[in-house]
Amino acid sequence: MNCNKNIKKKVKGRKTLSTRKIDNVTVATSLLPRSGPNAFLYFNHALKIPTLLLQSANSYIVDEVRINDLYAPYSTQTPDYYAPLALMYNHYRVEKIRFKFEIVTNEPSVPVNFGIVCRDGQPSLAVASYANAVNILEAYPTTGSYMLGQTTGMSVFRSKWYEISMSQILGSQLEYEGSASFRGGSATSPTQLLWLGLVAYSRSSASALTNGLFVDLHIEFLAKWYSPITIVV
């Protein structure tokens, strides 16, 4: 790993920001690993998934986010500051998440029940029927189930944050922290994943979610980065 000397940048009205370039990526020196092989860093990563569409020809739909995975939590998106930290540490382990959501646009043709579940099994594999969608919101009620009327949006949810730890989802802190399968690496996902599922179903099992609903989802990942990569100055 090649690193050039410090670069100091003065921003008017602010303190001097010290940065370095590592493999042509500029990073703040405050993020660089402390000395020693046991050095680690706790960092809060933010990810916003805007206007996520829950739409289906069926009367139910589920979408999902990999919440112990910073490398590829949702499609090709990664949370902020993942790339520079992945250049400096071999491993990370997500300890907990905070999330909030906003219903931007509701399904206009039928009232819908919506909720979010966090679990150790993949939600899309667990929801194969209308009954499954109803049951999963009852069995894993991380947010509870909200009935959404045929309106233009539900901004009332915007300021409500939910928080859950990975060991709480798994049911064992020792198992989560003691197993290498739950940790990720620089450009790798954990081999064993934990999930956040967005579930919606119409109030009538015969009514499809033809137009769907749009959801803004904000997630903060608190992760521990460890096993520093040797940086050649």
Residue range 21-30, pLDDT digits in tens:
555 556 666 6
* pLDDT value at 231 more than 70: no
Q: What percent of the chain has pLDDT over 70?
A: 79
204, 224, 232, 217: which is closest to 98 by C-alpha?
Answer: 217
Q: Which of 11-25, 55-69, 118-132, 151-165 is the least confident region?
A: 11-25
| pLDDT above 80 for 36 | no
What CA–CA distance (Å, rounded) separates 167 from 164? 9
C-alpha distances (whole Å) from 21 to each of 16, 28, 47, 53, 155 are 16, 9, 24, 38, 41
Q: What is the pLDDT of residue 11?
A: 45
Q: Which CATH class is domain 40-228?
A: mainly beta
Its pTM stands at 0.83
* Angular region, 187: left φ>0, alpha ψ -120 to 50, beta rest: left
Dihedral angle of Cα 48, 49, 50, 51, to the nearest 10 degrees? -160
Lowest-confidence pick of 10-24, 47-61, 98-112, 118-132: 10-24
The per-residue pLDDT for range 148-198, each reduced to its tens digit, is: 876 655 655 656 899 999 999 999 998 999 999 999 998 899 999 999 999
Structure tokens at 12: 């008017």
State the pLDDT at residue 149. 76
CA–CA–CA angle 74, 180, 26 (5° rounding): 55
The model's confidence at residue 7, banded by pLDDT at 50, 70 and 90, is very low
**Cα-based distances in Å from 169 to 5, 62, 120, 164, 172:** 43, 19, 6, 7, 8
* Distances, alpha carbon 83 to alpha carbons 30, 34, 37, 122, 225, in Å: 15, 18, 21, 26, 12
CA distances 217 to 17, 46, 60, 196, Å, are: 31, 11, 19, 11
Query: What does the pLDDT average to over 25-37?
Result: 62
Looking at residue 38, what is its pLDDT?
A: 72
Q: Hey, where are the domains in the chain?
A: 1-32, 40-228
CB 127 within 8 A of CB 216: no
Residues 78, 192 contacting (CB under 8 angstroms): no
Question: Can you tell me the mean pLDDT for 225-231?
Answer: 85
